[in-house]
Amino acid sequence: MRRHSATCGRKNPSAVVQASHVSHEKPSEAASAHGEARPLSAGKSGPLSGSVRVPGDKSISHRALIFGALSTGTTRIRGLLEAEDVINTARAVTALGAIAEKSGDEWTVKGRGVGGLSQPAGPLDFGNSGTGTRLMMGVVAGHGIAVRMTGDASLSRRPMRRVLGPLKQMGLEIVEDGKETLPLTVRGTQHLVPIVYELPVPSAQVKSAILIAGLHAAGETAVIEKEPTRDHTERMLKYFGAGVRTEVKDGKTHITVTGHAEMEGRDVTVPGDPSSAAFLACAALLVPGSDIIIEGVLVNETRTGLYTTLTEMGGDVTFLNERDEGGEPIADIRVRSSKLKGVRVPAHRAPSMIDEYPVLACVAAFASGDTVMAGLAELKVKESDRLAATADGLSVNGIAASITGDTLVVHGTGKVPGGGTVATHLDHRIAMAFLTMGLASEKPVTVDDTAMIATSFPEFRGLMERLGATYG
């Protein structure tokens, strides 16, 4: 993508929605409890224009709360993503004794220090959040407490084996021996054993859980990556004062954390979530005449695979006003409508854009020629089988797509007939991807439910409509 240091000279009004309070009701659970799906249709839109700011990055929001809890003193967080997944993590750290609360436009966490969290009074409910669950397993591992972890129906189907395996090596106990899905009870220990663990498949969540547990172990704990994954944990641990080093040996990345860490509370500003920005960027590429700016987006290279791919497809994507905040690179992203061509997306790029493949597949439907996306095995174990759900959604809207192993091929024709109803399987990214596609299809695209969008991007519809999108 193009990169420039200056802005385009237009005014950039913020479109962040700041909640005056955080509701304890979970929209997706409230809807499902009453059997109320919330379908929505996206119809052909006029040009999108304007400048907006997407909510804070989900990955960094989770970590800011958790590392604030494991530090001494107070951590102050601005721009925290106030979506269900993150609020569930805030509730969890509070239940463990590190009070997380909002005052004005700032969140504070009263830290208890590494190893200082306490037995919660009841189960920790993570709703739909795999990130919150897996990272918190690393936290609990280093405390002499037993914690019951629960989640919604979707999360309860997701495998936890890959994170439980190494944590058990360090000393974590699963009370229900042999169980690998929620609900389950885990018991930690104040005598964790450090390990050196090579990830069998790329996973930032597994890496992060091990490194967080390693904060509590004697000596050094190391994770070895064959392929780089999101490095927010390493960056933020350093920012909070933990001993972390990263080295490349024989083509592999070794990340080592020193145990019995002492971290201090910090001020954190959470940048805009690139995975949320992806829907706005893709909509602008697809809707003729569009020209938008998305302000203050995280552009860490472990998260920008989608933007690299869109540029290869011929997309007009430019990074503006690049700067560094709190140890993370951010930029304003300008996107203009473009004529696109099919490309081959290499498997090694998957970790840097794993959440964006559904919306990329929708973009590929409008491209000329085939787009081949390899290395997508991880999509089969997300909130839904995203690989199958994406292909099915394309099919019901008149686009041919095929799956072979972990490779998805979308046969782009330059236009999308639309007119279909997409089964979202309670997956927020499937819902948002096809609501993006419908803005440029010949007939409206309908998704069967939107309640779950609140888990990651509650402002999705509002921001899209502010730019000019049409929903109904």
CATH code of the domain covering residue 94:
3.65.10.10
Beta strands in 97-210 (DSSP E): 100-103, 106-110, 124-125, 146-150, 173-174, 184-187, 196-198
Sheet holding 74-78, edge to edge: 100-103, 106-110, 74-78, 267-269
> Which position has the token pair 């930690």?
188
Q: Residue 186: pLDDT above 80?
A: yes
Q: Residue 259: pLDDT above 90?
A: yes
Give a yes or no: residue 13 inside a domain.
no
> Which of the four pLDDT bands, split at 50, 70 and 90, describes residue 45?
very high
How buried is 419 (Cβ within 10 angstroms: 0-12 exposed, 13-18 middle, 19+ buried)? middle
- Residue burial 136-146, b: 16+ Cβ < 10 Å; e: rest: bbbbbbbbebe
Number of domains in the chain: 2
Same domain, 257 and 317: no
> Which of the four pLDDT bands, split at 50, 70 and 90, describes residue 241?
very high
Same domain, 258 and 351: no
Q: Residue 325: pLDDT above 90?
A: no
Q: Give residue 380's pLDDT.
A: 87
Give a yes or no: residue 14 inside a domain.
no
Q: Nearest to residue 196, comparing CAs of 224, 154, 219, 226?
A: 224
First-to-last alpha carbon distance for the chain, in angstroms, is 33
> Which of the four pLDDT bands, split at 50, 70 and 90, describes residue 384?
confident
> Which of the four pLDDT bands, split at 50, 70 and 90, describes residue 381?
confident
Same domain, 205 and 140: yes
Active-site residue, from 125, 355, 427, 449: 355
Give a yes or no: residue 24 inside a domain.
no
Q: Which two tokens stand for residue 180?
A: 């690998």
Residue 299's φ and ψ, nearest 5 degrees, are -125, 35
Q: Give residue 327's pLDDT.
A: 80
- Condensed to tens digits (0 to 9), the pLDDT of residues 111-132 reads 999 999 999 999 999 999 999 9
> Which position has the token pair 């011929």?
314
- The last residue of one of the domains, among 209, 241, 268, is 268
Q: Give residue 6's pLDDT.
A: 36
* 9-23, 38-52, 82-96, 230-244: segment of lowest average pLDDT: 9-23
Same domain, 285 and 206: no
Same domain, 49 and 146: no
pLDDT above 90 as % of the chain: 87
Same domain, 198 and 281: no
Q: Residue 19: pLDDT above 70?
A: no
Question: Rounded mean pLDDT of 350-359?
Answer: 94
Q: Give residue 3's pLDDT.
A: 60
What would the DSSP string read from start to end of 413-449?
ESS--B--EE--TT-HHHHHHHHHHTTTSSB-EEES-
Give a yes or no: residue 23 inside a domain.
no
Count of alpha carbons within 13 Å of 414, Cβ hemisphere only? Answer: 2
Same domain, 282 and 233: no
> Which of the four pLDDT bands, split at 50, 70 and 90, describes residue 154?
confident
Residue 135's φ and ψ, nearest 5 degrees, are -65, -40
C-alpha span between 193 and 189 (Å, rounded): 10
Same domain, 250 and 221: yes
Alpha helix (H) residue ranges in 218-264: 232-239
Q: Which residue has the higher pLDDT, 47 or 3?
A: 47
Question: Rounded mean pLDDT of 136-140?
Answer: 98
- The last residue of one of the domains, among 268, 283, 299, is 268
Give a yes or no: residue 178 inside a domain.
yes
Q: Is 355 a catalytic residue?
A: yes
> Which of the four pLDDT bands, split at 50, 70 and 90, describes residue 183?
very high
* 17-26, 119-128, 262-271, 462-471: segment of lowest average pLDDT: 17-26
Q: Which two tokens stand for residue 254?
A: 């070794």
Give a yes or no: residue 19 inside a domain.
no
- Condensed to tens digits (0 to 9), the pLDDT of residues 189-223 reads 999 999 999 999 999 999 999 999 999 999 999 99
Q: Give residue 1's pLDDT.
A: 67
Question: Rounded mean pLDDT of 153-177?
Answer: 95
Q: Residue 9: pLDDT above 50?
A: no
Give a yes or no: residue 15 inside a domain.
no
> Which of the four pLDDT bands, split at 50, 70 and 90, describes residue 2?
low
Q: Residue 15: pLDDT above 60?
A: no
Q: Give residue 13's pLDDT.
A: 28
Give a yes or no: residue 459 inside a domain.
yes
Beta strands in 126-233 (DSSP E): 146-150, 173-174, 184-187, 196-198, 220-225
Same domain, 90 and 37: no
Sheet holding 316-325, edge to edge: 2-3, 316-325, 328-336, 291-298, 49-53
Question: Rounded mean pLDDT of 179-198?
Answer: 97
- Condensed to tens digits (0 to 9), the pLDDT of residues 392-434 reads 999 999 999 999 999 999 999 999 999 999 999 999 999 999 9
Question: Rounded mean pLDDT of 20-37?
Answer: 41
Same domain, 117 and 249: yes
Q: Nearest to residue 205, comparing CAs of 84, 359, 28, 378?
A: 378
* Structural domain that includes position 43: 2-7+29-54+271-471
Q: Residue 8: pLDDT above 80?
A: no
Same domain, 200 and 68: yes
- The last residue of one of the domains, among 218, 245, 268, is 268
> Which of the four pLDDT bands, split at 50, 70 and 90, describes residue 36?
confident
Q: Residue 368: pLDDT above 70?
A: yes
* 25-39, 227-241, 316-330, 358-372: segment of lowest average pLDDT: 25-39
Q: Give residue 319's pLDDT.
A: 98
Question: Rounded mean pLDDT of 328-337?
Answer: 97
DSSP state of 272: B
Question: Rounded mean pLDDT of 265-269?
Answer: 96
Same domain, 171 and 284: no
Q: Do 53 and 270 meet the contact criterion of CB atoms below 8 Å apart?
A: no
- Residue burial 232-247, b: 16+ Cβ < 10 Å; e: rest: bbbbbbebbbbbbeee
Q: Which two tokens stand for residue 414?
A: 């330059």
